[in-house]
């Protein structure tokens, strides 16, 4: 028999170690450049997703709570769930505050600050529930296919997105923009509806179908606004500073007054005002303000009449 050649040495472990070392170097360069610590100092998407699920159940226990929940234990479930959500928010808020302080080169804030923010958020939940009740009613009344408010609450992605937005907006207002953004993006991934947590949305909003809807950070929506799928309320242009960096926080998105309807595929850009009761037709491209009660169609925009 002819001797077979010995197999080449297995270099997998060496190659793996080389990649591990290279990744460590890349991480360290990033952390040095962005003042990052070595530990896990950012809020957790997984824990925040659990928190939002718990808050949704606490807000609507017999519809979005656990399937085994009975009416006689409803208050116990709400109290227990809110306690767990408060603990999670306190922990995650502390991480965001520490991260922000590190970015500014400051000492970490006291733990009491995160606790105070979590308690302030907790106090907003009764009024938040009332806002959501009006959103649910708006969806039920605005959709002839809806058979009950319960169907709207448990089925409609627009309502699901608004539950997350109402939570995220309160967190944003309290000074926890990173946690708020995570909550918003979790809903975006689930529903296809992208609402920045900074957007101000009045009561009785109805987002019908919803896929592809984008509402920017500084958008302001009044009462009873109805929006259909693929609508964008965006910025016309983004101002930059002397170094070419985007200027943060400048009002750049539309103001939509009460009772406005914006149909599918419409794009409204810039700090324009859509007057009360106006109707914006499907696939309209709009970069100018619209008077109250107006009806704007594609023909209007193409002729310059809008």
Query: Do both 175 and 220 map to the same domain?
Result: no
Query: Do both 59 and 188 map to the same domain?
Result: yes
| pLDDT tops 60 at residue 148 | yes
Q: Is residue 11 situated within a structural domain? A: no
Q: Which residues contact 21 (CB under 8 A, 6 or more apart)?
A: none
Q: Is residue 62 situated within a structural domain? A: yes
> What percent of the chain lies above the pLDDT cut of 70?
94
Q: Is residue 91 situated within a structural domain? A: yes
The pTM is what?
0.90
Query: Do both 60 and 181 map to the same domain?
Result: yes
- Domain range enclosing 163: 41-192
Asked whether the beta carbons of 228 and 244 are under 8 A apart, the reply is no
| pLDDT tops 70 at residue 302 | no
Q: Is residue 249 situated within a structural domain? A: yes
Please tell me which residue, 165 or 306, carries the higher pLDDT value: 165
From 218, 208, 301, 203, select the one nearest 263 (Cα to Cα).
208
Please tell me which residue, 109 or 36, carries the higher pLDDT value: 109
Instruction: Please give the mean pLDDT across all residues of the chain.
Output: 93
Query: Do both 141 and 255 map to the same domain?
Result: no
- Of 192, 220, 253, the residue that ends a domain is 192
Q: Is residue 9 situated within a structural domain? A: no
Q: Is residue 162 situated within a structural domain? A: yes
Q: Which of 34-38, 117-121, 231-235, 302-306 has the lowest mean pLDDT?
A: 302-306
| pLDDT tops 80 at residue 264 | yes
Q: Is residue 1 situated within a structural domain? A: no
Helix, strand, coil distribution of the chain in percent, nearest 5: 50, 10, 40
Query: Do both 172 and 58 map to the same domain?
Result: yes
Q: Band of the pLDDT at 149, cuts 50, 70, 90?
A: very high
- Of 158, 192, 226, the residue that ends a domain is 192
Rounded to whole angstroms, the Cα distance separating 229 from 212 reads 6
Q: Which residues contact 237 (CB under 8 A, 6 or more apart)?
A: 252, 270
- Of 192, 227, 260, the residue that ends a domain is 192
Q: Is residue 28 situated within a structural domain? A: no
Query: Do both 161 and 234 map to the same domain?
Result: no
Query: Do both 85 and 182 map to the same domain?
Result: yes
Report pLDDT for 239: 76
Rounded to 5 degrees, φ, ψ at 43 are: -60, 150
| Number of compact structural domains in the chain | 2
> What is the average pLDDT across 285-299?
95
Query: Do both 257 and 124 map to the same domain?
Result: no
CATH number at residue 147: 1.10.3130.10
Query: Do both 115 and 238 map to the same domain?
Result: no
Rounded to whole angstroms, the Cα distance separating 267 from 215 reads 10
Query: Do both 240 and 177 map to the same domain?
Result: no
pLDDT in tens, 191-239: 999 999 999 999 999 999 999 999 999 999 999 999 999 999 999 988 7
- Within 10 angstroms of residue 165's Cβ, the number of other Cβ atoms is 27
Query: Do both 119 and 222 map to the same domain?
Result: no
> What is the average pLDDT across 277-287?
97
Query: Do both 157 and 54 map to the same domain?
Result: yes
pLDDT in tens, 29-79: 988 887 776 667 789 999 999 999 999 999 999 999 999 999 999 999 999
CATH number at residue 273: 2.160.10.10
From 272, 281, 188, select the one nearest 228 (Cα to Cα).
281
């Amino acid at each position: 028999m002819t001797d077979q050649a010995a197999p080449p040495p297995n270099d997998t472990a060496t190659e793996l170690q080389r990649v591990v070392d290279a990744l460590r170097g890349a991480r360290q360069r990033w952390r040095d450049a962005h003042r990052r610590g070595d530990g896990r100092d950012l809020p957790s998407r997984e824990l925040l997703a659990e928190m939002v699920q718990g808050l949704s159940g606490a807000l609507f226990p017999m519809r979005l709570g656990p399937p085994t929940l009975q009416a006689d234990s409803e208050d116990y479930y709400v109290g227990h769930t809110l306690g767990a959500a408060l603990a999670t928010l306190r922990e995650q808020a502390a991480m965001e505050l520490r991260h922000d302080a590190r970015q500014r080169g400051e000492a970490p804030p006291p733990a009491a600050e995160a606790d105070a923010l979590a308690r302030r958020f907790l106090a907003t939940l009764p009024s938040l529930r009332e806002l959501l009740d009006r959103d649910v009613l708006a969806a039920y009344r605005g959709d002839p296919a809806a058979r009950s408010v319960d169907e709207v609450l448990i089925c409609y992605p627009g309502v699901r997105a608004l539950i997350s937005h109402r939570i995220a907006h309160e967190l944003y207002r309290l000074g926890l923009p990173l946690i708020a953004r995570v909550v918003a993006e979790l809903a975006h991934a689930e529903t296809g509806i992208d609402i920045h947590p900074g957007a101000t949305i009045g009561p009785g909003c109805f987002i019908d179908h919803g896929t592809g809807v984008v509402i920017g950070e500084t958008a302001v929506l009044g009462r009873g606004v109805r929006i259909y799928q693929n609508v964008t309320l965006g910025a016309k242009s983004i101002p930059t500073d002397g170094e070419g960096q985007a200027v943060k926080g400048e009002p750049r998105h539309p103001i939509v007054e009460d009772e406005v309807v914006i149909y599918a595929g419409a794009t409204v850009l810039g700090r324009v005002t859509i007057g009360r009761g106006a109707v914006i037709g499907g696939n309209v491209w709009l970069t100018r303000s619209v008077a109250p009660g107006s009806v704007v169609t594609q023909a209007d925009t193409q002729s310059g009449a809008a």
